[in-house]
Structure 1
Amino acid sequence: MENSPRKTSTSTASGSVAVLLKGFPRISETFILNELLLLEEAGLQLTVYALRNPGESQVHEKVKHLRAPVRYIPDYFWPNFAGIVWANLKQFFRQPSRYWPAFSFALRRSLRRWSASTIKRFSQAAYLVEHYLRKERPDQIYAHFSHGPTTVAYFARWLTGIPYSFSAHAKDIYLQEDTFLRAKVDGAKFVVTCTGFNVQHLRRVAQNPEKIHLCYHGVDVSQFSFRGPRREMGRPPVILSVGRFVPKKGFPVLIKALSHLHSRGVDFRAYLIGGGELKPQLKALTAELGLTEKVALLGKMPQEKLLSYYQQADILALACQVEADGDRDGIPNVLVEAMAMGIPVVSTQVSGIPELIHDGRNGLLVEQKDPVALADALQQLIEQPELAGRLAAAARWTVEQNFNARVNVRKILHLLVGGEDGPGVPCYSPAVAQMSPSLSSNPVDK
């Protein structure tokens, strides 16, 4: 897949960057698309290499504005057996002194763990180098997610000497063993991650903790106009929840909370927007609890369409939870988007979410996996419009101060262009801890 030819940028940043992604374009990874667009706007020359084509039927409208060519690395070994083996053989004969140690490491690791994952990623790295990086010689490699894409970047550096860096998020951090994660951190030029919670974990893992930088994803606040709570008379309040229908998002807990609201006689309508493995289970639970007239399960949708649901929403609720295997969210971007628009939010005290939502000051937080507490918080916002308005105004302030993507991307730009030793550009202001006047008031009693 090749996008439109590159246009000349008027910005001062320069340099060519190979961007490694799991898949592209993905409707659930708006934050990556936004970051790439802002880096291009700043003047970087990007080429996207994706480990698979998601083949999604819907894509964000903004994808067409990305100038970077998008190329796909074979993800499945057997359908591409000849091409992958040929690329690896070429790399071996071109530079045996680099290829053999890297291959041996990947093979030993795969055998030790009884998993083909590492040798697969090494083979993809050799393919990437042989077909693209050897000829194009980008200045550096930048990967999103610390598992597959960063493993490919790690081996690509071994084969070429091209430096790499990566952005770590959530599942990719907590579902891989620390030894290899440490090796990838220590081999990187720098690492950025999207929550302070992640920073603490990665710094415990790394031998060089100074490489770890906090940079919240944020949103382009100019695209999310503040509307504030404004429920129409005679219309039931609209509760919105957006995310993949996977266990860590806690949708069954939210549906049970909505059932509690219904049993208390609280009127509402709820839209649950997403797609994923749990959709049949969620539909069955909605029917079992007698909520089919109250709760609509809608499919995943591009951001342009999602905005119309934000406009209708009186509350946004996310029941995020930590799974038994450690899988969890970081800071869900839908929370930042809703807060930017002044939609009161309710979520859980999981991972990095309390870094965004300060309970009783700019939103409400409850314990994870507690549908009664979640129902109580939702009812509080429905029945106390003054509280909802105060939280909404403070939420917008929080986003403007610390989750403005146009400001935060400067940190990544500096690290890519200037490295670790130059004058840094902060992407997180400690002022959030001091709060604005509206945030510094006493939290609401719950």
Structure 2
Amino acid sequence: MKIAFIVGEFPVLSETFILNQITGLISRGHEVHIYGSRPEDMSKMHPDVERYQLLKRTYYVPSILTNYLGRVLKGLGLIVTNLHKSPLVVLRSLNFFKYGKYAISLRLLYSVIPLLQSEQYDIIHGQFGMHGIEGQIFRDLGAIKGKLVTSFRGYDISYYVQEHGEDIYNELFVKGDFFLANCEFFRQKAIKLGCDRNKIVVLRSGIDCSRFQFKARVPNPNDKIRIVTVGRLVEKKGIEYGIRAIAKVANVHPNIEYNVIGDGYLKEEFYLLIEELRITDKVKLLGWKNQQEIIDILDNSHLFIAPSVTAQNGNQDAPVNTLKEAMAMGLPVIGTLHGGIPELIQDNVSGFLAPERDADAIAEKLIYLIENPNIWEQMGRVGRAYVEQNYDMNQLNDKLVNIYQLVCDRTNSDKLPEPRLLQEVV
């Protein structure tokens, strides 16, 4: 099959779930092209980007100038040099009456440039809800052809809906051929917004379990208990509550170390909080790390916290990949009763769940784990088994191919199986 991925920036270190699908499809003999924007910083990339030579498969939107006059002048140049490739598509992208600000800002014109003279695709896959909308518009313009599949992954079905209104996906739900959600929590949100329940199934985001070696966790009496969180330093990751919990734990068990991997706009605020709580010797903000660096840190850690919260703007998390990776490596985990996380962590079995924004509850669970290291190995083994069974990338990529094939074989008049039967098919 020929497949077009419509993404935001590519490649992005924090979006290994997209990378895993791309490489999985290529490994299965399918042709994948990627359409998106070039990141400002490409100094750190996942090794699979080079291994699979993905930049050669990527078509970037021309950089859009913030100065509108400069943008217009550059846009005129793009029209002159590209009009012959597909005159109707270029002209339709300037339809201010139909596409409003998207056309007036010239973002639609810039966005269709990489698609001019694009191939006929079997599948167009919008990797987030807003990319599905883009795919729908591109297809309406005649810039790209193929069946349209859209994934809902988190902020696109939470924050984005709150920001743009509950009718934002109405047209996409009608014109889109099929939809995927990375957890049942977000599938139900999409159905509530108007998605046909017979056109959407859960396809979890997977990890390559073979890259994450299991190790039974045991404390070293002469060393610190190492606790770790991996995530962007943004509100919905709830790292503030992880830091506050560590301050409470340190009053009881001072021989601990908390490493936070990631970066974001809250970094300076967290530095101040760490100083205020007087735990600068216990909490380290390590910044961005590539996957191998993360694996090395997880390998030398004992416990993992994923303290996600619903942000003020409505943004929510699915079961995050770094949490799956920690479980695959045998770390007992603590998560929150948030979004899709309870679908991953079996409370009191592979780890613990705590209420959102409850540092006291997180601290209580940490103290219990520190004082009962005899349960670590069993929790770790159960977590590893659950991830292998439900989140293995290879199994999920096989399911993705089955879904694509089902969508490709379906005509407009065909009815899809009931969701329960469809989930069994994929």
For the aligned pair, the TM-score class normalised by the smaller chain equals: 0.7 to 0.9
| Cross-structure match for 2:32 | 46
CA deviations 1:159-206 (Å, max 9, x no partner) are 126132221211111123222212223222211121110000111223
Displacement after TM superposition at 1:57 (Å):
2.4
| Cross-structure match for 1:276 | 264
CA distance in 2, matches of 1:373, 1:94: 61
| Cross-structure match for 1:60 | 46
**8 Å CA contact 1:124, 1:152 repeated in 2:** no
Secondary structure of the residue that 2:14 maps to in structure 1?
coil
**8 Å CA contact 1:410, 1:427 repeated in 2:** no
Provide closer, same or farther for how the CA distance between residues 275 and 117 of structure 1 changes in structure 2, counting only shifts above 3 A. Answer: farther
Provide closer, same or farther for how the CA distance between residues 100 and 265 of structure 1 changes in structure 2, counting only shifts above 3 A. Answer: closer
Structure 1 range deviating more: 325-334 or 414-423: 414-423
CA distance in 1, matches of 2:213, 2:326: 10
**8 Å CA contact 2:228, 2:301 repeated in 1:** yes
CA distance in 1, matches of 2:107, 2:7: 13
Question: Mapping of 1:98-137 within 5 angstroms?
Answer: 99=92, 103-107=96-100, 110=101, 121-130=107-116, 132-133=117-118, 136-137=119-120
Provide closer, same or farther for how the CA distance between residues 102 and 263 of structure 1 changes in structure 2, counting only shifts above 3 A. Answer: same
Letter of the 1:104 counterpart:
F
| Cross-structure match for 1:304 | 292
CA deviations 1:44-82 (Å, max 9, x no partner) are 101111133342321112211224411211252545534
Secondary structure of the residue that 1:138 maps to in structure 2?
strand
| Cross-structure match for 1:348 | 336
Secondary structure of the residue that 1:233 maps to in structure 2?
coil
| Cross-structure match for 2:216 | 228
CA distance in 2, matches of 1:91, 1:207: 38
| Cross-structure match for 1:322 | 310
**8 Å CA contact 1:98, 1:159 repeated in 2:** no
Instruction: Work out whether 1:154 is the aligned partner of 2:136.
Output: yes
Secondary structure of the residue that 1:417 maps to in structure 2?
helix
**8 Å CA contact 2:308, 2:335 repeated in 1:** yes
Displacement after TM superposition at 1:349 (Å):
0.4
CA distance in 2, matches of 1:61, 1:92: 35
TM-score by length of 1: 0.83
Instruction: Work out whether 1:165 is the aligned partner of 2:149.
Output: yes
CA deviations 1:67-117 (Å, max 9, x no partner) are 44112112525455345456568399833899389653311xx4xxxxx59
Can you give the 5+ residue segments of structure 2 that lack an aligned partner in the other structure?
411-415
How many percent identity over aligned positions? 25
| Cross-structure match for 2:278 | 290
Instruction: Work out whether 1:243 is the aligned partner of 2:231.
Output: yes
Instruction: Work out whether 1:95 is the aligned partner of 2:88.
Output: yes
**8 Å CA contact 2:93, 2:103 repeated in 1:** no
Provide closer, same or farther for how the CA distance between residues 118 and 403 of structure 1 changes in structure 2, counting only shifts above 3 A. Answer: farther
| Cross-structure match for 1:71 | 59
Displacement after TM superposition at 1:241 (Å):
0.6
Provide closer, same or farther for how the CA distance between residues 276 and 426 of structure 1 changes in structure 2, counting only shifts above 3 A. Answer: farther
